[in-house]
Amino acid sequence: MKYEFPYKAGDIINVYQDYQNENSKLIGTAKLIRFRKLGRSFILEDTMPELEQVVYNYQEWYIEWENLIDKSYKHQKHAKVKYLDTVGLSNSIEDEMPIYEYEKLMPDSFLTVNGIEIY
């Protein structure tokens, strides 16, 4: 299942030192001003079966600080905002051949010449 980015320009968000880990140090709160770029998807924890895999992504936004806790970040004008992207097969897995298709393939065999298998 694919999810949409849950925020829009004008929303107030928490900004963390490590955008992937919301248990990391809180830098402050900021208002989203303008979209900058789309990030790359990532997985925090492998899940089995793969149909239940949780995949995150992030968007980078220009921000305006509302309540800056760590003053060393006062010149930072953009932030990465993590969001839930997909639950289920990730894009790379969806592009692979489904398991039931593998079952239809002929089994591998070696070339046999005069009764001797050639590798």
Whether residue 5 contacts residue 15, with contact meaning beta carbons closer than 8 Å, is answered with: no
pLDDT of the chain, 119 residues: tens digit per residue: 889 999 999 999 999 999 998 889 999 999 999 999 999 888 888 877 777 888 999 999 999 999 999 999 999 999 999 999 988 865 554 445 455 565 666 666 677 888 887 76
Does any domain span residue 49? yes
Residue in this structure with the two tokens 């003053």, named with its chain if needed: 71
State the residue range of the domain holding 26.
12-118
Does any domain span residue 98? yes
Per-residue model confidence (pLDDT) at position 108:
66
Strand 78-87 to 111-113 pairing: unpaired
Overall number of domains in the chain: 1
Does any domain span residue 46? yes
Per-residue model confidence (pLDDT) at position 106:
62
